[in-house]
Amino acid sequence: MAMYLLYESSSGYGLFEAHGLDEIGQNTEAVRSSVSDLSRFGRVVQLTAFHPFESALDALNQVNAVSEGVMTDELRSFLELNLPKVKEGKKPKFSLGTSEPKLGSHILEATKIPCQSNEFVLELLRGVRLHFDRFIKDLKPGDLEKSQLGLAHSYSRAKVKFNVNRVDNMVIQAIFLLDTLDKDINSFAMRVREWYSWHFPELVKIVNDNYLYARVSKMIDDKSKLTEDHIPMLTEVLGDEDKAKEVVEAGKASMGQDLSALDLINVQTFAQKVMDLADYRKKLYDSLVSKMSDIAPNLAALIGEMVAARLISHAGSINNLAKCPSSTLQILGAEKALFRALKTRGNTPKYGLIFHSSFIGRASAKNKGRIARYLANKCSIASRIDCFADGATTAFGEKLREQVEERLDFYDKGVAPRKNVDVMKEVIENLQNKDEEGKEAVEASGKKSKKKKAKGEEEEEAVESEKKKKRKMETEEENEKSEKKKKKKSKSAGGDEETDDGLTQSKKKSKKKKSKSEE
């Protein structure tokens, strides 16, 4: 049986025929020993056909298809053109060796060409790869290396491409930074409290919030300068006029010691740093919420942005979280308790990070494990939708949240919840209807724009016709005026001639009179 070899190079597809395999034997060791010797390998493997790629983009598309195990139309036409035709009802007398088993199975399904991919074929293809530039005569030295380098760069670049708005690494860093900021702000605020309490100890009992305490301490500065004029400012900060008055009264009767101006400046500076960190923490939280709406909108709609971000951070990425089964997701974050329970043969934990969602806290003690299992199931569905869906939407997450609410009602009141299949069908139908409405709206807006364009063109034509009419009228008026001027000029010229004639006649008469008088 004849054997053909399909080799996918960076410059094109190559089809080789391996004949006389008895010379090197049918085992891989014999092939390995003969591969390095071109004179011996060239007698066994010979080039049958070569199909170069049209461009770098075409090469990238073909290599992507080969890596995914898909036969392109170009490859199919190349094989059908150069391989012997397979007659229906008869076994083919040849086989095709490929390096990718998935590609071979696809070729077999589509063209009925028998394919094989084993160590023997791979060793033959290794020899083809080693001596490929010797088989193709038109290749110049260095062309193959350039094409390999360019295709490797473009292939790697295409694999690494990602959507900037869906980078879950930023969420992981943000949630770690939020945890660090919470610890630091808490410790720094306690230091401000201890420091300023030497000067104004009564303020600690009046203002409990750390951020407000830092703002009030910076505003008061020296307690001896507190007057009733500070009440409006303190009311604006604390939000309560009674508390502001209490602060002023406590400042007047405070038991704290006086601090030097330098110490007060240090306290104020440190309080400002705490306020800046708290403000930055708020901005970071807002950015995390907006980022989660792009990365995992359904998971965030189901259990909240913070819990969803912690799950993604603990799993490593949204992709890893989507691969986790619901049982793993349920105890994610409780690994120590799990292994301790396995070691001591005790009860395994019922929940991990998902305990921070509001659903488990609302469930009764006996139903906490059941609702945790159900919630983990829904979180697994939402994470897979977010990871593998093309468009970002919160429709699935909102419906999954409704299902968890129904499950809580079922545990408390016995109301039967809806089935997941029906809910998912409803969401898909709603999304399809929205897409159709959006298309209709786009088409209607296109028609309106066309009508507006048509109306605009008609108006422009009417304006141009009016302008042409005005120009004609103006030209006619100008012609009439010019004709009138010409007539006036002609009349004035005739009058001058008549006056000249009159003058000559009068002169002649005067001369005749003079002559008569002389006579």
Domains and CATH numbers, the chain: 2-160 (3.30.420.220), 170-286 (1.10.287.4070), 296-418 (1.10.246.90)
Range in 55-69, 181-195, 372-386, 481-495 with the lowest mean pLDDT = 481-495
Range in 37-46, 309-318, 322-331 with the lowest mean pLDDT = 37-46
* Residue keyed to tokens 């002609």: 490
| Per-residue pLDDT tens digits for 267-320 | 999 999 999 999 999 999 999 999 998 889 999 999 999 999 999 999 988 989
pLDDT of res. 405: 92
417 vs 459, more confident: 417
pLDDT of res. 516: 52
- H-type alpha helices, 87-230: 101-111, 119-130, 132-135, 143-160, 168-197, 203-206, 210-220
Q: Give the pLDDT band (50/70/90) at residue 379.
A: very high
Give me the sign of the Cα torsion angle 112, 118, 120, 126.
positive
Range in 160-174, 315-329, 408-422 with the lowest mean pLDDT = 160-174
| Per-residue pLDDT tens digits for 139-186 | 777 788 888 888 888 888 776 655 555 678 888 999 999 999 999 999
Q: Which residues have CB under 8 Å from 398's CB, separation 6+?
A: 301
pLDDT(462) > 80: no
pLDDT(213) > 50: yes
pLDDT of res. 313: 92
For a pLDDT cut of 70, what percent of the chain falls above it? 86
* Per-residue 3-state assignment (H helix, E strand, C coil) for 455-513: HHHHHHHHHHHHHHHHHHHHHHHHHHHHHHHHHHHHHHHHHHHHHHHHHHHHHHHHHHH
pLDDT of res. 459: 73
Continuous segment of H or E residues that includes residue 94? strand 94-97
Q: Which whole number is the average pLDDT over 250-257? A: 86
Number of residues that make up the chain: 519
pLDDT of res. 450: 61
pLDDT of res. 24: 47
pLDDT(127) > 50: yes
Q: Give the pLDDT band (50/70/90) at residue 401.
A: very high
pLDDT of res. 398: 92
Query: Mean pLDDT for the chain?
Result: 83
pLDDT(490) > 70: no
pLDDT of res. 28: 66
For a pLDDT cut of 90, what percent of the chain falls above it? 24
pLDDT of res. 376: 94
Q: Are 87 and 78 in contact (CB under 8 A)?
A: no
